[in-house]
Structure 1
Amino acid sequence: MRFLIKLLLLAVLSLTTAVAGFWWWAGQPLELRGSPVDFHIASGSSLRAAITQMREAGVAVQPLLLLLLARTQGADTGIKAGSYSVEQGITAQQLLDKLVHGKVTQGDITLIEGWTFRQWRARMAAHPDLRSDSRGLSEAEIIRRLGRDYPSLEGWQFPDTYLFDKQSSDLDLMARAVRAMEQRLAEAWAGRADGLPYRSPYEALIMASIIEKETGREADRELVAAVFVNRLRLGMPLQTDPTVIYGLGETFDGNLRKRHLQTDMPHNTYTRRGLPPTPIAMPGLASIQAALHPAATSALYFVARGDGSSHFSNTLDEHNRAVNRYLRGGK
C-alpha cells in the first residue's frame, strides 16, 4: 500500500513538474535565426502547417509543444493568415497570441496619378514585399488572369496607396486597383453632367487620362477638360502632345519633334480626330470628375504660361497671341 502511495505521489510530482516545465517553456524567448524574422502564413493553413512555415523562416519553435499550448487554450483552429514579423525576445505564448489575433505586418505601395501601366508594373516588380506573379506575363495574359476583357489595362488602375500582407501576389494588388477604378468610374459616370460627347464610361476614362497629363495646376483642371470636350463636340482634333508621347512609348527620348506630330499612329491626336483608342495614364479622381463636369466655357485653346498655369483662348487669333507672349517672349 505504501508503495502504491509513493508511486502515486511520484506520478503527481512528475506531472506537476512537467506542467510547470511546460508553462515555463511557454514564457521563455524563442530562438530566432535573426531579428526580426518575417514569415507568411498562407490562407487556409492549419496550425501544424503554420509551424512548418515559421520554422522554415527561422523561428525555432517546438511543434508538439506549441500545438499543445494552442489546444489548452482552444486556439489550435483559430490562427489568422497573413504576414508577420517577430523580434528577439518573443515567447511561445506571445507568438500564439499574435497568430490568433492576426497581428500581421503590412507592406504599402503608392500608385501615382499620371503613371502608365508600364511604370506601375516596374514599381511593383521592384517592391521587396510583393510576390511578382506577373513576371514574364504579357498584358493580355494579365488581363485574362484578372478576369477582364479590356483591350488594355492602361487607365484601369486607381491611383492610391495600397496596404497588403507582405509577400502578397502583385496580381492580387492589380485586381484591387482595377476594382477601385471600376467603382470610382461607375459612381462618377452616374453623376455626370448632361450633354457630354462620350458614348461610354471608357471614353470618359480616356479623356480623364489626357486631362491628368495636361493639367499643371489644380485650378485649371475643369478648364482643360472643357477645351478638349469642346473640341470633341466640334469634331476638331484634340492635338495634345501627351497622346503622341504615349504612342511613341519607349522610343521617346524626351524631345518631342515636329516629325513625331506628323507621323500617323493610333494615339496621334494631331493626325486623327476624336479620342485615342486607350487611356494614356492612370487618372486620379479629380481628373475623372473634370472629364464628367467640365467648366462652362467656349475655350478651344490653351497654352502654358510657364508658372504651372495656362492661358485659355476662345479663338485661334487670341491663342496665337498668347503663344507669342508666353512661348516666344513677345508682348
Structure 2
Amino acid sequence: MTAASSPKTRGGRRIGRVLLGLLLLGVVLAGAAYGAFVWHMTSPVDAAGGAVALVVPKGATWDQAVVQLHAAGIVKSPWLFRLRARQRHRIVPPRAGRLELDKSFSPDRVMDVLAAGPGASDPDGPLKFKIIPGDNLFRIEERLDELGMSGDLWALDRDDAVVERLLGTLPERREGAFSRLEGYLAPETYHLSRSSPRVLTALESATSQFKKTWTAIKTKHSAARDRLAAEFGFTDHDVVILASLIEKESAVNDEGPLIAAVFYNRLRRGEALATDPTLVYRRDTWKDVPAPRHRKDRTNPYNTYANKGLPPGPICSPSARALEAALSPADSDALYFVARRDGSGRHVFTSSYDEHKKNIETFLKAP
C-alpha cells in the first residue's frame, strides 16, 4: 500500500504542469508568430499590384534605400523588412540606379531586387539593357547609369583602339563630330549578365548587332549604295548619318523613303537640309524641343539650317527601317515636308516653296 502524497508534493506537480503548459503555449505562439512573419514576407505587399519605379542615388546606404521603399509604399514595415533581410543575408550596399518594382512583389522579392540592383525586376534573370530607335548617346548614357553599369561611355568613345575593335573599322572623325560610336548602337533589348555589368559589355552587344543588321542591308541594296557613292561621294558613314536624320523625322514607317527623297533632292540642289532634330544635338540641349532660337546657333556644327550638307556625325541610333530608307529613297521630287500635327505622325510633302509656306500656316500656325 502506497503512502498518500503530501499536499506540498501535489502542489509542486501542479506548478510543473502549469509551467510546462505555458512553455508549450509559448512555443506554439512563437511558431505561429514566426509562420505569420514568413507568410507576410513571402506574400504580395498589395495583391492588386501597381508598378513603381525607384531611383537609388549614388552613395545611398541600404537603410536609406529602405526609407525610399517605405515612402513609395513598397515596404510596409522597415523594421520587419530589416529583420528579414538580416535573416536572409540581404543587407548589402545598394547599387545606384533605377529599380523597376511592383506592389505585387513580396518583401522577399523586393529585397532580392534591391540586392541585385538596377534592371533586376527579375533578380534571377539577366540584366535588360534597351536601346530605342532614335535614342542618342546622351540618353543611352542615362540608361546605362540607371542600370548601375560600371565604366565611362565617353572615355570608351574617345579610345580609337576600343572603337576600332567594336566596329571593325574606325569611322572618320569629321570636324565638329561629337562621337564616334553615335549611330552604331543597334536599337534592341539586350540581356546581359548581372554578375559584372559593364558599359563595355553593353557596347559590344549593341555594336555587334548593328554590324549584323548593316551588313545584311547594304548587301541587299548594294547597287543603290554604289549609286550614292558615285553621285554624292557617300561612304557607309554618310549613309548612317542620313539614316539617323530619317529616324528622328519619321514616325510612320512608310514615310521613311519619302523623307529620304527630300534630303537627297535638297543635297542635289545644294540646299541646307534644315532638319529640326539636328538643332538640339548637344549635351546641354538634347532634351529641348527644337525652336527658332536654335536655328541661329552657329556654334553648333550639327545645325543643318546654318550649315549645308550632312551634319558631322549621326545624331541617334537609327532603326533597320531608317537604314533601308536611306538606301531606297522614294521616287519623288519633294523638297519640303511639314508635320500634320493631327496625331497621325504623318507629314505633308511638296516640291513648291509657296505650297510649303501654306502648309506651315495650315498645320503649324493654326489654332
Q: Given the alignment of the two structures, is residue 118 of structure 1 paired with residue 138 of structure 2, yes or no?
A: yes
Aligned to 1:24: none
> Over residues 97-136 of structure 1, what are the superposed CA-to-partner deviations in whole Å (9 max), with x where a residue is unaligned?
xxxxxxx8422221111011121122112115xx413378
Deviations along 1:43-69, one digit per CA (max 9) or x if unpaired, are: xxxxxxxxxxxxxx979xxxxxxxxxx
Measured against aligned partners, the alpha-carbon deviations of 1:225-281 in whole angstroms (never above 9, x if no partner) come to 1111211222211001111111x4314663534342122231111111110010000
Equivalent residues of 1:207, 1:291 under 8 A apart: yes
Q: 2:157 — aligned with what?
A: 139
Instruction: State the identity as a percent.
Output: 31
Task: Out of 204-213 and 180-189, give the one that drifted further.
Answer: 180-189
Counterpart for residue 211 of structure 2: 182
Amino acid at match of 2:187: P
Match of 2:127 among 107, 120, 124: 107
2:184 aligned partner, one-letter code: W
Query: Structure 1 residues 198 and 108, CA, compared in 2 at 3 Å: closer, same or farther?
Result: farther
Q: Measure, in 2, the Cα distance between the counterparts of 1:233 and 1:329.
A: 32
Q: Distance in 1 between matches of 2:255 and 2:161?
A: 38
Does the CA-based 8 Å contact 1:236-1:273 persist in structure 2? Answer: yes
CA 305–182 in structure 1, closer or farther in 2 if over 3 Å, else same: same
Alignment of 1:292-307 (within 5 A): 292-307=327-342
Inter-partner Cα distance in structure 1 for 2:348 and 2:283: 29
8 Å Cα contact 2:129/2:202 also seen in 1: no
- Counterpart residue identity of residue 324, structure 2: Q
User: Is residue 280–residue 287 contact of structure 2 (8 Å, CA) maintained in 1?
Assistant: no
Residue 289 of structure 1 aligns with which residue? 324
1:140-163 alpha-carbon deviations (Å, 9 max, x no partner): 03x533435343111110000111
Query: Judging changes above 3 Å, is the alpha-carbon distance between structure 1 residues 288 and 253 closer, same or farther for their aligned structure 2 residues?
Result: closer
Within 2, Cα distance between the matches of 1:135 and 1:280? Answer: 16
Structure 1 partner of 2:15: none
Q: Which amino acid aligns with 1:139?
A: D
The alignment status of 1:156 with 2:189, answered yes or no, reads no
Residue type at the aligned position of 1:134:
D
Deviation, 1:184, is 1.6
TM-score (normalised: structure 2): 0.57
Alignment of 1:190-269 (within 5 A): 190-192=219-221, 194=224, 195-196=227-228, 197=232, 199-246=234-281, 248-251=282-285, 254-264=288-298, 265-269=300-304
Displacement after TM superposition at 1:282 (Å): 0.5
Aligned equivalent of 2:76: none
Q: How many residues align?
A: 230
TM-score scaled by length of structure 1: 0.63
Q: CA deviation at 1:216?
A: 2.4
- 1:28-55 Cα deviation digits (max 9, x unpaired): xxxxxx99xxxxxxxxxxxxxxxxxxxx
5+ residue gaps in structure 2? 1-40, 43-87, 91-107, 109-123, 174-179
Aligned counterparts, 1:61-140, within 5 A: 105-128=125-148, 131-134=149-152, 137=155, 139-140=157-158
Assess, with a 3 A threshold, how the Cα gap between structure 1 residues 238 and 135 changes in structure 2: closer, same or farther.
closer
Secondary structure of the 1:163 match is strand
User: Match of 1:165?
Assistant: 193
- Whether the 8 Å contact between 1:185 and 1:205 is mirrored in structure 2 is no
Does residue 328 of structure 2 align to residue 311 of structure 1? no
CA pair 255-157 structure 1, distance change in 2 beyond 3 A: closer
Correspondence 1:279 to 2:314: yes
Quick one: distance in 2 between partners of 1:136 and 1:273?
A: 28
Q: 1:215 and 1:175, CA in 2 relative to 1: closer, same or farther beyond 3 A?
A: same
Judged with a 3 Å threshold, the aligned counterparts in structure 2 of structure 1 residues 137 and 215 are, in CA distance, closer, same or farther, namely same
> What CA deviation, in whole Å up to 9, does each residue of 1:269-322 have, x standing for no partner?
111111001000001111101111111111110001112210000111121121
**CA 1:116–1:135: 2 relative to 1, 3 Å:** closer
- 1:198 Cα offset (Å): 5.2
SS in 2 for 1:249: coil
Q: Structure 1 residues 165, 234: closer, same or farther in 2, change over 3 A?
A: same
CA contact (8 A) 2:295 2:303 kept: yes
